Structure 1
Amino acid sequence: MKLPIEDYSFNLPAERIAQIPQEKRDESKLLILDRKNNTLKHDIFKNICSYFSSGDCLVINKTRVFPARVAAKKATGGKVELLFVRELARSRWSVLTRDKIQKSRIIFGDNKASAIVSGKDVSGEFVLEFDDGISVKNIIKQFGEMPTPPYIKRNTDCTEFKKKDFERYQTVYASNTGSIAAPTAGLHFTDELLNEAKNKGVNIAEIVLHVGWGTFKPISTKDITEHKMLPESYFVDQSQADIINIAKRLNKRIIAVGTTSVRTLETLADNNGEINHDSGETGLFITPGYKFKCIDIMLTNFHTPQSTPLALVCALAGRDKIFNAYNEAIKNNYRFYSYGDAMLII
């Protein structure tokens, strides 16, 4: 089945793109999309537990974002901005940049460290080779900023917001460092809401998928099914798999928080919807026509046009229902994208 890319585009007024988070995490708007009854309901996120039932399993991604955006300069003096993607080996990292850095020497800080650009792979990532004895993680910690998406505008006068990003572009339960983008559906939860869910009898399972370039790499093919997802690493241990599998055996609902949780669960699920504990990489790209094996309900933000997360939610709820929900959200002044509002697909 061909899926033309133009069918997954929509026009969004610029003022609907959230530039900063809500003052309180759980004060975001919440749109409830009921697939069975084909209805939409407006609510606020602090009421989300009213849609949970005792025995439900809420699956959260505990990945932690690191300050992957680093300003540097070339040995010739030109300024560059790098997005550190992943560690390839000791003293070798892959980075993304819009600047021309091929075969350059990159200088960090006041000549405290440097690296040579040794190549560029087929996905567009550059390889940096650092001098021996250099702690790359210390460079990132010292000079890095949170890698908020480019549609969130941060200039040199945004010091206050940049500092706030370290707290708010991170879930309250983030613990396993490795992501270059936040699993944004989870940004709305507070410790109090998670405790409320537990007190209601909801079981919380923790998985890890480190968000890499694969999640936000633009779809460039005319038919979205021809797009290839770049792999992202995940980890699910035995105890957390058991929580999910017990819920499945008891015919309780699996509620996935965000596309990263969905892709991890669907990667590991067998034909009965149960998952194996495992670690590895997944390049699973979920598009309309996909048959879900594990999840029943999904919490998500509102996604960018022609993106892999948008294709995933269309696969779950149907393109027409999703686009109708997006139109309703735009009419009702919902905030879109990473710092925006949320949608619960039931």
Structure 2
Amino acid sequence: MQHRPRRNRKSPAIRNLVREVQLSAKDFIYPLFVHEDDQDVPIGSMPGCTRWSIDGLVKEAGEAHALGVPAVVIFPAVSEDKKNGTADECYNPDGLVPRAIRALKSAHPTLCVITDVALDPYNSDGHDGIVRKKADGELEILNDETVAVLCKQALCHAEAGADIVSPSDMMDGRVAALRGALDAVGYEDVSILSYTAKYASAYYGPFRGALDSAPKAGDKKTYQMDYANVREAVREVMMDEEEGADMVMVKPAGAYLDIIAKVRENTTLPVAAYQVSGEYLMIKSAVDAGWLDEKATVLESLTAIKRSGADIILSYFAKQVAEWEQEAE
């Protein structure tokens, strides 16, 4: 036989030489949870993850950064007494997220700090937007009113020192509005990483448990995307690119590799993908039960995400991957 593909698989050295996709710590954004308490508290719905105090957040982010992880994204657990129907706490300049940003940038100037821009952690209704009950009793998420609040939130984060704001709300037109609001007051250098194709997914459950941010009524299907749709993701990419996004994201990642590939084909912007809490928990649970090898499964799942076209991966395994990479050197 002239063609024996196995020749390129016969040793670790040769397999490494011909490997098409390389996974590295520099590919990752590390999602971190922060709360007002002085204690760091393990998250029951996400074993291995923690609700950090600000001091704990700074320490954890610093350790990951020292291992080569370039960026973190902050998700706040906000107490119920600070939530209301218009999510006013989201743009409090002395709120949890602005204080966390300032602490991170002070301690780790080279760390890229990304913030989540959405109302659900601050909204007493648990939705990503402002809610109105219609005459028939159905809930309506008010798009334009929400976007106005998101602009205040993004400006608050930019003023605190955020490098990137990342709208995860899925309201129409929010990228253009955020870009305009940031530019108008001199924050032209603050980037926008848009949750461009964020699907209404069952994989978000553990995350909502971590932040206690599940909707109090209804669901998110009128603004998050239908998981049966592909072309809609392309439309969202085209809109976000036109509106001024610097990077686009697909969420979730593992069950949406086809969407990542389609998005990659239809934009020249960097593409991020979020390995979400449900994906994380499924691996952790199977590992804890003894059915899967953690390192092998994590690296395979993350390599698949990058192989499908993602330039950037948000994953709760980011720090572990960086540790494994250093151990291998």
TM-score by length of 2: 0.29
- Would you tell me which structure has more strand in proportion to its own residues? 1
TM-score by length of 1: 0.28
- Would you tell me which structure has more helix in proportion to its own residues? 2
